Structure 1
Amino acid sequence: MKQILNFIQNRNVILISALILAFTLPANAKHLKEYTILILGIVMTFSTTGIKFKMLSDYKSVLKVTFQSVLMNYIIHGTIILSIAYFLFDETIFNGFVVIAATPPGVAIIPFTYTFKGDLDYSFKGILGTYLLAILFTPLIISTFAENISLNPMIIILVIVKIIIIPIALSRFLLIKKVIPFTEKYRGKVVDWGFALIIYTAVAINRDIIFSNWIIVLKTSFVLIIAIFVSGIVYLFFTRKNNNKQLQISKNLMLTVKASGFAVAVTLILFKQKSAIPAAVMSILVLLWLISLNVYYSNNK
């Protein structure tokens, strides 16, 4: 019985099950869709309990980490995506890739930094800095590469408040002395199951789009596999002898993980539903990449 419970509670099993259910039983996603931000907020609240505000006291470090994060996630990752997608797709699908390039790093980086035992200080500074800069970068990138589009920065500001600022504030209550035992006991479970629900919802609501556009999906997968898997594996290869494993974990996540939920939402607001195919495919590939990293880091402790 204990072995069965351990199997069910295994992170990889939970996430893969979420992906399978998204394709086989997608109907419940419409009920979960409106709660996605709330679920993500809860996950972030538990994930950010390890963050100390003194991390931000060293402004030089904050600026350095933010610069590195922008370089990896916006410039390198974004350039790979746009330079390949430009030659493969029409304007409708290419606009979806533009949104991905303009999307900040995924907030999932923080909980998975905790899960992989990475550098939480680095990941938090990188996420915070890039999300603040997203107020400038996201509209700028979209307006530069996509035609006749304007983006209200308030959309991004509201996202930042809901999934970063409020959860960090609430996480302080989970650090109250009497609450810490509860936090330590359930933090991992909340992160795993919460992220599984988010993945299920993101994939399930785009299931029909994915199934009805296989050629586009395959071409999209090709672009994103290079941007996520190939770049991530290359990074692992060149940093394999680096002694600061925690930092390299965080940097790898910053290089390869975009906010797929953010990308889906913004794409649907600005473009046709078909333009959301790249973001929907990305949500699947990011999940597979995170599962792959989980296996890799578990076997290379």
Structure 2
Amino acid sequence: MIQKIVSSFSFMVILAIVLGAITGGFPVYSNEIATVALLIAMIVSMTSVSLKNVDIREEKKGFFYAFLINFGFLSFLTLLLGFFFFGQKELWEGFVVMAAVPPAIAIVPLTKILRGDTTFSLFSILLLYISSLFLTPLFIFIFLSKEIDIFGLLQTTFLLILLPLLISRFIKIKLDTSLISNFCFFIVVFAMIGSNREFLFKEWEILLPLSVALFIRTFGSGSIVKFIGKKLKVRESRIISYSLFASFKNDGLAMILASSLFSARAAFPALLAIVFEMMWMCCLEAKIV
């Protein structure tokens, strides 16, 4: 019974959101704990990825579509919705930063959970993070006239993509990947929501309009890409990956950049986006979208 409950991604994420909001998450080292949990989830999800028979030409073509979806469509939609908050400078800054950051690294283990094309997601994530070393600073400079240090992006690319890929090559035992990944995501969401819960309770007056905007940004964009993929008869495993690229940004990185470059309030859109992205993932798992 307990194993069946824990094996449900939706249940674990909803529980993490509720408990994080109520308890405030871990008392110390929330970011470090979340990073380790995501690192483990990445390693586990990559153990089944074989790089021996990868069709580079096919993966490059898929990356081009992932690039257009995430840095093109999703970033444009995020900026468009953020424009409605242009009068509230800090929130507009938060939307710009969210549009500028690369996709969530969690897309790789989430693709594995949904039985999508994990090899494609991994290949595209790696190239998108390399692209972001140029695109993220450019976005922020064009729209907000701020310069950022790309060291953090380099560190993230190595620590949460290249290192897990290397470690996963040495793991030969069969693992219950869904169980481990679900528990890791429980820790990640619990830590992120808990350590930033004061935003959820202090910003009631903007919570509703922000929620509407982020619902459209996440559920709307993901649903559109999924619909187009089915109309074009794209294989289901690839549609799953595309729908995740159409809805997930690296909100943790966006929160760090927004709060360090501008203000703590500028990080609020990215925090709320985490909730909607996790709910979107739950809907994908339950096959209700």
In structure 2, what is the Cα distance between the partners aligned to 1:243 and 1:121?
16
Deviation at 1:108, TM superposition (A): 1.3
User: Pairwise mapping of residues 54-69 of structure 1 onto structure 2 (< 5 A)?
Assistant: 54=52, 58=56, 60-69=57-66
Partner SS state of residue 4, structure 2: helix
Give the TM-score normalised by the residue count of structure 2: 0.93
Q: Does 1:139 align with 2:137?
A: yes
Q: Does 1:196 align with 2:181?
A: no
Amino acid at match of 2:30: L
1:40/1:163 contact within 8 Å kept: yes
Which residue number corresponds to residue 230 of structure 1?
A: 220
Deviations 1:9-39 (A, max 9, x none): 4222111110110111115253332222222
Q: Does 1:154 align with 2:151?
A: yes
Which residue number corresponds to residue 266 of structure 2?
A: 275
Partner SS state of residue 256, structure 1: coil
Q: Does 1:187 align with 2:207?
A: no
Q: Does 1:207 align with 2:197?
A: yes
Unpaired runs of at least 5, structure 1: none
Deviations 1:163-210 (A, max 9, x none): 0011111111113xxxx13xx2x3222211111111111111211112
In structure 2, what is the Cα distance between the partners aligned to 1:9 and 1:248?
23
Moved more, 275-284 or 21-30: 21-30
1:88/1:219 contact within 8 Å kept: no
Deviation at 1:295, TM superposition (A): 0.4
2:33/2:191 contact within 8 Å kept: no
User: Pairwise mapping of residues 12-51 of structure 1 onto structure 2 (< 5 A)?
Assistant: 12-28=10-26, 30-51=28-49
Partner SS state of residue 173, structure 1: coil
Which residue number corresponds to residue 254 of structure 2?
A: 263
Amino acid at match of 2:28: K
Which residue number corresponds to residue 102 of structure 2?
A: 104
1:56/1:125 contact within 8 Å kept: no
Partner SS state of residue 258, structure 1: coil
Partner SS state of residue 117, structure 1: coil
Which residue number corresponds to residue 283 of structure 2?
A: 292
Deviation at 1:127, TM superposition (A): 0.6
Deviation at 1:139, TM superposition (A): 0.4
Of 119, 122, 125, the residue aligned with 1:124 is 122
Partner SS state of residue 87, structure 1: helix
Deviations 1:99-133 (A, max 9, x none): 11011111111111111111112211211110110
Deviation at 1:232, TM superposition (A): 1.6
Give the TM-score normalised by the residue count of structure 1: 0.89
Deviation at 1:281, TM superposition (A): 0.2
1:37/1:162 contact within 8 Å kept: no
In structure 2, what is the Cα distance between the partners aligned to 1:49 and 1:106?
19
1:23/1:204 contact within 8 Å kept: yes
Deviation at 1:85, TM superposition (A): 1.3
Unpaired runs of at least 5, structure 2: none
Q: CA RMSD in A?
A: 1.9
Report the number of matched residues: 287
In structure 2, what is the Cα distance between the partners aligned to 1:5 and 1:54?
34
Deviation at 1:276, TM superposition (A): 0.5
1:45/1:167 contact within 8 Å kept: yes
Of 72, 78, 82, the residue aligned with 2:69 is 72
Q: Does 1:250 align with 2:241?
A: yes
